[in-house]
Chain A
């Protein structure tokens, strides 16, 4: 495919790959993220590349350790949300009738209820501060948008010839869903999964920042929580609160860039057919492109 010629896809894959690699092998090289030292509030130096916290912990070591947990939560919640959305979206779209009406009503309702306040309330009731409870709560609230997209796609795929012929030849329902419909929706599912991961990481960061994550679980969001609580801002310790947020933004940007290119492949209408120069031949007053 010519897709890899797109600089967006290459940049996206490179950024995402970097963070995944960091999460997998980083912790083996970094020093103890919780090790205290007498070097407190140190700005970046040769000994501490990203400086130290108020307790003398190395910010870089914390960042690396946080990468792993953050990515675990993002991938876990994204995966779970995608599975739920496949069941509800494709299931509803394929079954049709009353089941579809009810499932799509459910998706639409979950979609309009603002997610974070609901997650906050649930998380504080169940005291979901560990990694997996957080994953479950985030996934439970964030599947609806994907389900709607998948349902729409299933409705259009359902009556295509190859599905109809599979049905005519007596294939079972679940086989049609898993072997005929699902593979054809894989690019959309991947794109929805990527959105879910971004959402999960942002939501986890928000939860952690409000103090709803267990303090032992080191994530980018949790680092920001400690930075805020220990007044890194008013002490001017930018090296403490800038890197974790930047990581969230960069990782999210990497994923979004992949999605951006996926979108262009999936949606031919987004391809720019006319070369730019031919537009200028049209009888228009000079377009001021400097």
Chain B
């Protein structure tokens, strides 16, 4: 038998509106630009619209240690990057500052710029969450394919149990893992991102120690997020397996492996990829809270400090950077989607 065309192509011919790749790309880019602009704008208006003025909050803190100097309010306004002039001028100054990666100055760790604090920590989170998400996605999709293929068997009946994992808060999973694998069985380090004696840099002892320190945090993310991928994939797989083209492929006498992977799974995985956006936001949210349990040197920990110290510029900077990173990752996945789903690239 000659190589059969993927069923995706057959369906695409029936599609009514076909998009050219350029159009697809432009649409996606446009959408993420709008999303980024909304995030920037929300971030701009938050401190201005909300009654609890951050300046008053900070002055309140200072009042505990003595009377703040009279012009402190103006100084703070400058530090916080609130700008001056009309609201439009302020908005323009804000956008201009962002374009030059000026995110203001941390209030608590004055005068360290917010950008510096973020730069020191973002890579830890990106590498940890990125690696763990890839592992979790691969494992979840793989198990989902199997559970859907063997639908109705004992393996499939285990799937509802994964809802327990999905409903667990990440940080609680982290607490459990630390208790089990760092305290009861002291096998792995309980906190930090690397050993205290290591020189941070590109040397083997540091990398080995960083990997060792990342095992428990990564395991937390994988265990807590794998259930979502698994369940979605299993359901899509069950639905796809009742489609005619799968039945036809079986009737042709193709090997079960080929039907499972080349026909059913290949089509069933598409919603998981296109729904990546929602899931990634969820994983990132869970991870930034989780970091606090491990005292991991990532962005979540910095956010925690910022929250505890009412460090508004830092908080806002972190919100922006996290949001833009998630949007960037989603854009990447959407472009990838264009590659794996032929329907998007026929023009």
Contact = CB atoms under 8 A, between A and B. Distances in A.
Interface of A is mostly: helix
Size bin of chain B's contact surface: 35 or more
B293 interface: yes
B163 A256 contact: yes
A113 B38 contact: yes
Interface of B: 31-32, 34-35, 38-39, 42-43, 46-47, 50-52, 54, 150-155, 160, 163-173, 175-176, 178-179, 183, 231, 235, 238-239, 242, 250, 253, 256, 277-278, 280-282, 284-286, 288-289, 292-293, 303-304, 307-308, 310, 312, 315-316, 318-319, 322-323, 326-327, 330
Contacts of A209: 169, 171, 289, 292
Contacts of A203: 285
Contacts of B310: 124
A245 B32 CA distance: 36
B183 A234 contact: yes
B183 A236 contact: yes
A120 interface: yes
Interface string A232-274: 0110101001101100111111011100100100010110110
B127 to A, nearest CB: 18
A117 interface: yes
Interface in A174-220: 198, 202-203, 205-206, 209-212
Contact of B34 (A105, A117, A120, A122): A105
B238 A120 contact: no
Contacts of A276: 151-153
Contacts of B330: 112
Interface stretch (A25-33, A38-46, A77-85, A277-285): A277-285
Contact of B35 (A109, A117, A287): A109
Contacts of B307: 120, 124, 210-212
B238 A113 contact: no
B169 A245 contact: yes
A206 B153 contact: no
